[in-house]
């Protein structure tokens, strides 16, 4: 076996070597827009090192979120939640490269808790601060776990406060196709669950109750959904669930008079769930056809609905791609905030210390 001469070895030692690849930034993000206090440490786009989500069960007593109680609970727990995420990640606060927090939309008192904590930490550490729009973060939630969930895609964002159908040709560019005119889908689930006496939050409990019911038992309306609608019609992509909620209420009153409400509750829950799913899926698949894109991304709490996922997947067919977040990332969480923040960080965006929360924060990059 030949041996390299000392001269050759010295030449190798003197040869220029490529610089090591820069380490992916460590992002610490906070989410406190409603009734979950969450913190996450993300390295790069897909590596979640630490992630804590603390839900506030106190709101179950009232059948909905009480803003003052939510803000107070965030204040009491935010530091512990951040410490837990850092401990799980195995890093110290001074190792964080980027700080981020939800800046809106949401409950203003709740938003201010997480955003103020992130501002103070960023200022003390001399590190960048990135504000994040809560609904844009829901778009990124699936991408945290699934790198293939990349634009272009049709997006359906369904949560307790929002229902939006989007065309996403690339990150940062969003075309709004339709949105709710009254109740959001998640809000409708919560209200109907309360009407039926099932508890809070409404989505999971209605799904459990509907499992033993007949979805065709009651002829409930499919609001703003008609076969003769055409692209360009105002109703083609928009949603409305207030009338459906009222239809359920009227049916409940009739069943109470007949003394049949308890036995009919699973059927009524199944019929309501089927009506919501029919509307959401039909309008999503209309967008799939119009934009000739068989990739769909779901986001928000209602994205955890098995019925919704199954209906859209069936409509997409074997060649379609449906990406939905895991139950942990479907709810409000800080991992999605960190992922969205990283996108804006790489674009060179930074916030000053005059940053404040907005309950009605505009969706960045959105075109109506």
The H or E element that residue 168 is part of is: strand 163-170
**Could you tell me the two tokens for 54?**
């603390």
Q: What is residue 61's predicted lDDT score, i.e. its pLDDT?
A: 83
Residue 365: burial class (beta carbons within 10 Å; 0-12, 13-18, 19+) = middle
Using left for φ > 0, alpha for ψ between -120 and 50, and beta otherwise, residue 295 falls in: beta
Same domain, 180 and 210: yes
Q: What is residue 14's predicted lDDT score, i.e. its pLDDT?
A: 59
Residue 352, domain extent: 26-139+332-367
Same domain, 237 and 111: no
1 falls within a domain: no
Q: Give the C-alpha distances (Å, rounded to integers) separating 268 from 177, 189, 221, 251, 262.
A: 30, 12, 13, 8, 10
Same domain, 213 and 323: yes
Q: What is residue 8's predicted lDDT score, i.e. its pLDDT?
A: 46
Same domain, 208 and 314: yes
Q: What is residue 20's predicted lDDT score, i.e. its pLDDT?
A: 53
259 falls within a domain: yes
Q: What is residue 4's predicted lDDT score, i.e. its pLDDT?
A: 46
Q: What is residue 2's predicted lDDT score, i.e. its pLDDT?
A: 44
Q: What is residue 9's predicted lDDT score, i.e. its pLDDT?
A: 46
3 falls within a domain: no
Q: What is residue 144's predicted lDDT score, i.e. its pLDDT?
A: 97
Same domain, 162 and 261: yes
Number of domains in the chain: 2
Q: What is residue 58's predicted lDDT score, i.e. its pLDDT?
A: 87
Q: In what order do the strands lie in the sheet with 129-133?
A: 47-55, 36-43, 26-31, 98-104, 129-133
**List of the chain residues with pLDDT < 70:** 1-22
Q: What is residue 10's predicted lDDT score, i.e. its pLDDT?
A: 55
Q: What is residue 204's predicted lDDT score, i.e. its pLDDT?
A: 92
């Amino acid at each position: 076996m030949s041996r390299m001469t000392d001269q050759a070895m010295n030449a190798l030692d003197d040869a220029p070597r490529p610089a090591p690849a820069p380490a992916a930034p460590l992002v610490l993000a906070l989410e406190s827009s409603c009734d979950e206090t969450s913190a996450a440490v993300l390295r790069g786009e897909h590596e979640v090192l630490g992630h804590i989500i603390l839900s506030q069960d106190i709101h179950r007593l009232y059948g909905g979120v009480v803003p003052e109680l939510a803000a107070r609970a965030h204040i009491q727990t935010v530091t512990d939640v951040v410490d837990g995420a850092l401990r799980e990640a195995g890093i110290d606060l001074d190792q964080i490269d980027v700080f981020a927090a939800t800046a809106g939309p949401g409950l203003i008192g709740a938003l201010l808790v997480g955003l103020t904590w992130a501002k103070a930490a960023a200022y003390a550490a001399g590190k960048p601060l990135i504000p994040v729009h809560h609904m844009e973060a829901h778009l990124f939630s699936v991408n945290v776990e699934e790198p293939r969930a990349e634009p272009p895609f049709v997006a359906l964002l369904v949560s307790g406060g929002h229902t939006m159908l989007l065309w996403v040709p690339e990150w940062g560019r969003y075309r709004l196709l339709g949105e709710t005119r009254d109740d959001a889908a998640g809000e409708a689930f919560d209200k109907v669950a309360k009407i039926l006496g099932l508890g809070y939050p409404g989505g999971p409990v209605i799904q459990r109750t509907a499992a033993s019911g007949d979805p065709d038992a009651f002829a409930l309306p499919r609001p703003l959904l008609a076969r003769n609608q055409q692209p360009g019609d105002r109703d083609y992509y928009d949603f409305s669930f207030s009338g459906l909620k009222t239809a359920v209420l009227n049916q409940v009153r009739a069943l109470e008079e007949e003394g049949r409400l308890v036995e009919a509750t699973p059927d009524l829950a199944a019929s309501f769930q089927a009506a919501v799913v029919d509307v959401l899926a039909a309008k999503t698949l209309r967008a799939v056809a119009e934009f000739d894109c068989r990739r769909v991304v779901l986001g928000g709490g209602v994205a955890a609905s098995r019925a919704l996922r199954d209906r859209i997947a069936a409509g997409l067919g074997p060649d379609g791609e449906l990406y939905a977040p895991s139950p942990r990332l479907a709810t409000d969480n800080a991992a999605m905030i960190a992922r969205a923040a990283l996108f804006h960080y790489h674009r060179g965006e930074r916030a000053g210390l005059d940053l404040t929360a907005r309950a009605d924060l505009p969706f960045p990059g959105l075109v109506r």
